Amino acid sequence: MNRKWLPLLLTVPALALILFLLIYPVGDTLAESFLPLDQGWQRYVAFFSEPYNRTVILRTIKIATITTVLSLIFGFIAALFITRCPAKYRTPLLILSVFPLLTGAVVRAFAWMIILGRKGLLNNLLLNLGIVDQPVPMLFTSFSLVTGLVYLFTPLAILSLVGVLDGIEKDVLDASSSLGANPLGVFTQVILPLAVPGLIVGGVLIFTGSLAAFATARLLGGDRQAIMPTQLYEKAMVSFDWNTAGIIATVMVLVTLVAILAMGKLARRFNPATGG
């Protein structure tokens, strides 16, 4: 056997596993939502004709976008702070920043329910300070859902950005300052463009994760703030409407692909070196 085929043969078991456990189930679900073709298209038309379904889709995209932007902002600030600290403090700070990933999503969601409830820590604080006269309804709102998702995914942004920001040589920043760039110019023209790969990777992970965050959405959003994962669960496991569940899954996959392509285009625009 020609030795040049050996590396390819070694990847066959892993590729077969991915094909069987990931690609085939997703492809089968997508195909079932379209078959038979005449009825499939009618199901899609009926699905998108419902105002509630369109509202859920738009709400999902809006919440995922807001979560992505806020998580990247907080993650960028935290990652920049960590990389500018002395070396002996970086590892402890990085461990603390990703500590939420060590707990389950359900535990984190319940913690926010305790904080944001009508008799929760935040409402008690506002009442004791005299800022409000009665508890503010914060739970089962877009605010509570976005808060939980940002808390859930900001560590991913930090992990995506720490390595990129740490790789920016201090000599590059000093050179840009010596050439007349002010601190804002150094940030916008040097640091930010060089951090684009980390921002794109973090943005894709956060956006796609927000689209599929069922536990957090169910516990913090409830029925009032239903998004596509909770609607998919309801159709598949409560109503046993597998045709509609397949349509929702298809829409989620398409939204994910569009988001990945859009972020890749942004990466090539703001940092051509990232483009293939």
How high is the pLDDT of residue 157? 93
pLDDT digits (tens, 9 = 90+) for 46-103: 899 999 999 999 999 999 999 999 999 999 999 999 988 888 888 888 888 888 788 8
How high is the pLDDT of residue 210? 92
Is 66 part of any domain? yes
Q: Is the pLDDT assigned to residue 2 strictly greater than 70?
A: no
User: How far apart (Å, rounded) are the C-alpha atoms in residues 157 and 148?
Assistant: 15
Question: Angle at Cα 113 formed by Cα 245 and Cα 76, nearest 5°?
Answer: 85
Q: Is the pLDDT assigned to residue 275 strictly greater than 50?
A: no
Question: Among 164, 142, 156, which residue's Cα sits nearest to residue 224?
Answer: 142
Q: What would the mean pLDDT of 164-178 be, rounded to a whole number?
A: 79
Is 116 part of any domain? yes
Residue with the larger pLDDT of the pair 6 and 109: 109
Domain count, the chain: 1
Helices (H), the chain: 6-18, 24-34, 37-49, 51-84, 87-97, 105-116, 121-128, 142-166, 170-178, 183-186, 192-194, 196-211, 214-216, 228-233, 242-270
Domain residues for the domain of 261 are 49-274
- CATH number, residue 181: 1.10.3720.10
Is 17 part of any domain? no
Q: What is the pTM of this model?
A: 0.85
**Half-sphere exposure (CA, 13 Å, Cβ side) for 150?**
17
Is 1 part of any domain? no
